[in-house]
Amino acid sequence: MVSNPSIQFMLYETMLKKLKTKRALVKQGDTGVTALEIFLLGALAKLGATVVTYPLLVVKSRLQAKQITTGDKRHHYEGTLDAILKMIRYEGFHGFYKGMSTKIVQSVLAAAVLFMIKEELVRGARFLLTKGGTTTRITRSA
């Protein structure tokens, strides 16, 4: 599902930008963000994306699962809209979030670590490319 990472990165970048802007106002231009803050932003971004997209994942899973063709009609779906309507009718909105706690523990932790490592690697690469913060100009001899 492409929408989950898209929402996750949008939330992360938005929160990071706001944090850096707020930090620049308070600390006279210093926009440094700690690894812990990055970890927390990554976790919040993934949590938000998962809460928004999880119902779509549940509907998709239900449609892909082997459906009972006889007996109980509650779990036999004619299509996406039928699945959504039957889930609302028979399970309420709670049905869209069944099993989400397991998904959150697994994916939120992974995303938080991923963002923290990514930002530390970017910070390290910038440091190496600028030789410790001072930019150097490479000249070619003709």
Domains and CATH numbers, the chain: 3-129 (1.50.40.10)
Task: Give the per-residue pLDDT at 25.
Answer: 83
Q: Which residues contact 91 (CB under 8 A, 6 or more apart)?
A: 98
N-term to C-term CA, the chain: 53
Residues of the chain with pLDDT under 50: 142
Task: Give the per-residue pLDDT at 131.
Answer: 75
The answer to whether the beta carbons of residues 89 and 19 sit under 8 Å apart is: no
